[in-house]
Structure formats: structure tokens, C-alpha cells
Chain A
């Protein structure tokens, strides 16, 4: 089965508990067991969840929202990404709490049901198109019926319908490096002359979610629970695949997305006249100008002090895309072509251990 099919058929088993403040009956209702599509969004599950709890809800207007261990869940983040990010030791079923009242407007942006989710999705798609093509005319010029069909294909998890409509958008896909490398081995010179000129580089829209931890760990269940969105850095930065002699890997992509974590690698090539790097950074009265320059660069790149540190002990502990943990050597073009969400964004979850 092709990878995108696996992605579209992926689902998270949820055990959804009604928040105690909204339980008006005794005994309290049992949790709802729902299989939620990875590529979907939690508010879209409302029609499935409501029947379980409607008889016990207090009177009033319903505004659905969810929390995981007290953390309100951002509804515009695909369900699978939320799970990958907040459940490092993947618990199955994933226990979350549903609320129909008391919407936390200070943490969550408003959501008025399906229309809000659709608006968020279409705008993400336009943003991705803009990143890839420099404009989003193709999405803006979609007919009403095409746009509706695209949205419904996402809601229903219908990959065939989705591909039928999205192919009309002619959104640039990335050259599959693995395939072309294999092809090169068998047909050396034919490629250069016979194939029409194709875009040699591709810009891949990426949404990167970084969970920083201060203590190293061996087991995933040692990762502290996320109790605030402040602990997660969100970065929206495209990756431009560079065509060089060697394959552009996921590792190369991470160097572009999180340059501050890889600064030390480049420093290893800088001659410091025998002075140990750690000592040079500590002793600020030493005139080690090359180190200073790098630090300054780091300051400009660093935008969220809590989440980023320039340290040789910073390391990537975990990287998850669509629930899988790919090896860093994997060709990034394969990742970009197969693990995208329907909004044409690659959502990547990373756990980084940083120095105190």
C-alpha cells in the first residue's frame, strides 16, 4: 500500500471523558470511544460525541473543546499531530476530556464548529500554495463545488476524491530523489537530454512543533507531561531542498529548521587555536572573536529564549511525522511527497533536550 494511503487511513483511538463540571446525572456517563482520523480535526468529531452526552449536559449553548491532562487542545492542529506531540509514550486509547461549556478564550482561538475548521484548512492550503508557488491563485480560483468536494474528502477521509480535486491545483511536488537516484544508476546520460527541464528545487511548507526538555531521558514515559503551550515552540518555516551531489536528507532539513541546534557542528570546522569551545564560551574576557560572531548569529536566529539554547549538549531525542519516527538519513523528498497533511503542510514533532 502506498504511504499516503497509510497516512489517510491512520487513526487515533480516543477515550473521551465528559468533564465532571458538566455531568448532571448519576451515575456519570461512561467515556465515548471514538476512532479519530489522524488527518482530521477534533471539533469535527462533535456530531459523533454529542449523542453520548447530550442527556447529561446542563442547559445552555454548546461550544465544544477538549483538553489533555488540563491542557486545552488547539483545535486547528490535526488530531494525529496533537497525539504525536502530547503523547510521547503513545497511550492507546488516548484519554482526553471533552467540554461543552466554559470555552477558554484566553488559550484557544474561537471555533464555531465545522465552518471555522474549514476556514482554517482552506487558509492553510492557500498558505502552502503561496510558499510553493509564490502565489495562491490556484486555490483562490477553485470553483465552489471543487472547494466543497476537497473539504468533504478531508472530512470523510476519502483519499481518491482528494487526489482527484487536488491534482487540479497543480501544486508543485518535489522531485523524488530516491527514484531519480535509482533511475540514474541505470540510465546515465538519458536523463539530462530527454526529460523536459523540471524545477530543480522545491520549497516544502513545514509546521514544526518543538518540545524542549531539560533532563535527559532513556524512556519515552520519562518525558514530562506538557501542561502549557509555552513549553512548545511552534515554527512555520519552509525547507528548500537543495540539489547537490548527495541526497538531501531529513537531517539536512532539520539543520535548516533548527539551525541553533547544529551550530556546534559548524564550529568544529573553525580553528580556535587549541582553545576548548566550552571554555571559550564560559570565559567572556577571552578574545575569541569567531565564537562571538557565532553567538551573535545565534541571538538573531533565536526567537524564543525558553525553547532554544546554543549548547553542544542540545540534542534531538525524538522526531515524529505522521506517527512514525523516520531515520534521519531518509531522503527528505520522500518525506515531502508522502507524509504531507491534506493542507500540503508537513507537520513535524520534535523533542529536544536542551541545557539548563
Chain B
């Protein structure tokens, strides 16, 4: 995803976890700029899994708005130094 940048911009570690029958990614941990929107994570998953319909959640709890900043999500819901993002092909938590 985002290439390493030399400046002091904060990066967030995102751990992508498959739910239900969603395919498991070979590489599941990524670093992303805190100033990026959650939409970037969603788009990345769509391209990697070649699927348009994806349900993406944080901590198996709720689906954040794609405009949310990754840094806010990490500050509010991250733990153990990462943000856990779950993805499913059908609605997992309605």
C-alpha cells in the first residue's frame, strides 16, 4: 500500500482479518498513513479480493464511514499497536 515516506507523518498498522467464507490474504498486515481515509483500506480489499461487494468492519463491531481518517479509528479503536479490520463477503454483523 503506502510507500514509506521520510517525513514524520504517523503510520498506522492495519491487520486485515477474513470473516466467514471470505478469502484469507497472504499478506494481512499493512502500514497506512494516518491521514488516509478508511476508504483506502476498503478499496485495497476490493482490488485484492476482486470483489465489489465487501462488508468491512472494525473489531468485528461496526462499519466505519469510508471518509473516516485511519488515525482517528486507530486512536479510538486500535489496540496492541494495530487496527483490526474484518472483511466479509456477506453481511456478518447486521
Contacts and interface: CB of A to CB of B under 8 A. Distances in A.
Determine chain B's interface SS by DSSP, over half rule.
loop
Nearest to A304: B35
A299 B39 CA distance: 25
Contacts, number: 51
Nearest to A127: B62
A127 B93 CA distance: 13
Interface in A278-319: 299-300, 303-304
Given A135-B61, A303-B10, A303-B35, A235 B66 contact: no
Contacts of A119: 63
Interface string B23-44: 0000000000011000100000
Contacts of A320: none
Contact of A123 (B64, B73, B76): B64
A236 B62 CA distance: 15
A136 B68 contact: no
Interface residues of A, number: 23
A74 interface: yes
B69 A303 contact: yes
Nearest to B8: A299
Contacts of B8: 299-300
A109 interface: yes
Given A76-B65, A109-B66, A119-B63, A131 B72 contact: no
Interface string A226-238: 0000000011111
A235 B72 contact: yes
B61 A126 contact: yes
Contacts of A127: 61-62, 64
Q: What is the size category of the interface that chain B forms with chain A? A: 20 to 34
B71 interface: yes
Given A237-B72, A237-B76, A238-B76, A130 B61 contact: yes
B10 A120 contact: no
Nearest to A147: B94
A120 B64 CA distance: 8
Interface in A152-195: none
Interface in B64-94: 64-69, 71-73, 75-77, 93
Given A127-B62, A136-B62, A303-B10, A109 B75 contact: no
A120 B66 CA distance: 10
A109 B77 contact: no
14 contacts: A109-B67, A119-B63, A120-B65, A123-B63, A127-B64, A130-B59, A131-B76, A136-B62, A234-B69, A235-B69, A236-B69, A237-B75, A238-B76, A303-B35
Interface of A: 74, 76, 109, 119-120, 123-124, 126-127, 130-131, 135-136, 140, 234-238, 299-300, 303-304
> Which 7 interchain pairs have the tightest Cβ spacing?
A126-B62, A236-B72, A123-B63, A123-B62, A136-B61, A109-B66, A127-B62
Given A130-B62, A136-B62, 18 more contacts: A109-B65, A123-B63, A123-B64, A126-B61, A127-B64, A130-B77, A136-B61, A140-B61, A140-B93, A234-B69, A235-B69, A236-B69, A236-B73, A236-B76, A237-B72, A300-B10, A303-B35, A303-B71
